[in-house]
Chains A and B, each alone.
Chain A
């Protein structure tokens, strides 16, 4: 039995579930972005762990560094959308975003 592999896989899954649960149960645009970030942390953990397991630490570091850059830009764009929505509607509640459906 390998405590480490079990702990890491369990923690990663729990983090992803927490992120997705938060994503569907909240109405605040910024909290939605935080939820996505929580899930992305689990992904970073899994990729780093994969590199550690197969001996390609350097390659997995390259992946993680790139992911971090991507993550930041997405977070900035999402925050920009939330701020634009706030300027337009006066709050960041996604229940207000219901003009499109069908």
Chain B
């Protein structure tokens, strides 16, 4: 590993920490002015670093690289490690954080300073989740991400924010109890919580001394992470948290946080740890299909812009998990790409909801209407994002959904694959309703002098739309590349 790459790897945890220090050491007046640029720099550098590390790994012919943050570690230590999937995820995190900070300029007033501190801690927590190779360290960073998001949701200290934050806190505490209980049972048998060691202990779990303990272990872990990712029977807190958060916070929260805390962890578990436990995949597939269908159905009945997006997230998270639960390379790649696509288009939509909130002061769709002419950028980027969500070719969302449905088909569960395909129509339905209520039709009284939001918000929705369209057009090339690598 070259010295340059070693340094770049350290920036994933080092740079946000440096930004926190800078933000607090500078004079308060200066910090108030530049704090948002600190966050934007951290986000952009992280995207660049992820691309750089990907290129260096590719050039060196490696698939992963271990590193330690402070001092050299002993044998069996909990190290940080990057592979291609965690690099993709780190890139997503950088992208969403940048979009969140671009949105924050217009919406947070004098809360910017605290927002920057907390968002940087949140960034560190999410990077940690992407980098760790030990289940216990994963829990530690989950908890950091959680605490930073509770405080960010209640940043405005309005009643709704406190309510959303407290519900999230309680659900997340229950999830923690389940996850840690499961980890304790796994730890009893494996003697270590490194991904590799747990996978080895589970490889012949039927012949373990007490298989009941291992079963209890992985069921508890699965339930815990399902609560964290807001999969359908465990989704109660998610729409509340998204709706009550300040606009910039819900961009970050909806774009990436819950996906990191729940979905990424579940993908890691299926890909790295529970490879030899088919039951795990079957339960996951059931949960996935339930939340795909019920999430889409629930989204149709909602009347708040952000709440529709929240239920749509639940449904899309279902697609990601469906891909992961197939247990094949195609499914896993589809899930990873859908993870990236979902981060892109859901962030676009949350940025759009923030733009609508800034321009009109509300996100209730019944009070909105006819904004297409007043806010052309927001309207068009929202259409692009929702077409991508619904899986309309040639946008990015189509390709990843296609891979996931093919993978589900290949497992022999034709019914589930058909249901997933059918739910796409619901996706189109609730987004058409949203689009018609908010952007099309005649202007509603009182909104005649609405203007397009300028600056960071506009910039980030343009950039994210460009990624959605560009990625969609480049996708066939990516598929050919993956086929050349023998992955699908």
B322 vs chain A, min Cβ distance (A) = 25
User: Known interface pairs A70-B140, A89-B159, A102-B307. Does A32 touch B170 (Cβ–Cβ under 8 Å)?
Assistant: yes
Contact status B181-A84, CB under 8 Å? no
User: Which residues of B sit under 8 angstroms from A20, Cβ to Cβ?
Assistant: 174
A11 within 8 A of B: no
Interface residues of B in 143-180 (CB under 8 A from A): 143, 146-147, 150-151, 154, 157, 159-160, 162-167, 169-170, 173-174, 176-177, 180
Residue A51 contacts which of B154, B181, B187 (CB distance < 8 angstroms)? B187
Contact with B along A39-60 (1 / 0, CB 8 A): 1101100110111011110011
CA gap between A20 and B175 in the complex, in Å: 12
Sorting the interface of chain B by its residue count into under 10, 10 to 19, 20 to 34 or 35 or more gives 35 or more
User: Which residues of B sit under 8 angstroms from A67, Cβ to Cβ?
Assistant: 180
Query: Which segment of B32-40, B239-247, B253-261, B480-488 sits at the interface?
Result: B239-247
B188 within 8 A of A: yes
User: Which residues of B sit under 8 angstroms from A102, Cβ to Cβ?
Assistant: 239, 301-304, 307
A42 vs chain B, min Cβ distance (A) = 8
Interface of chain B: mostly helix, strand, loop or mixed: helix
Residue A97 contacts which of B150, B166, B189 (CB distance < 8 angstroms)? B166
Contact status B154-A81, CB under 8 Å? yes
Contact with A along B131-144 (1 / 0, CB 8 A): 00000100010010
A66 within 8 A of B: yes
B148 vs chain A, min Cβ distance (A) = 10
A79 vs chain B, min Cβ distance (A) = 11
CA gap between A59 and B183 in the complex, in Å: 13
Sorting the interface of chain A by its residue count into under 10, 10 to 19, 20 to 34 or 35 or more gives 35 or more
User: Known interface pairs A32-B170, A56-B192, A99-B163. Does A74 touch B187 (Cβ–Cβ under 8 Å)?
Assistant: no
CA gap between A20 and B167 in the complex, in Å: 15
CA gap between A89 and B303 in the complex, in Å: 26
Contact status A77-B169, CB under 8 Å? yes
User: Which residues of A sit under 8 angstroms from B192, Cβ to Cβ?
Assistant: 56, 59
In order of increasing CB-CB distance, the 6 nearest A-B pairs are A46-B184, A97-B163, A50-B188, A100-B240, A54-B191, A36-B173
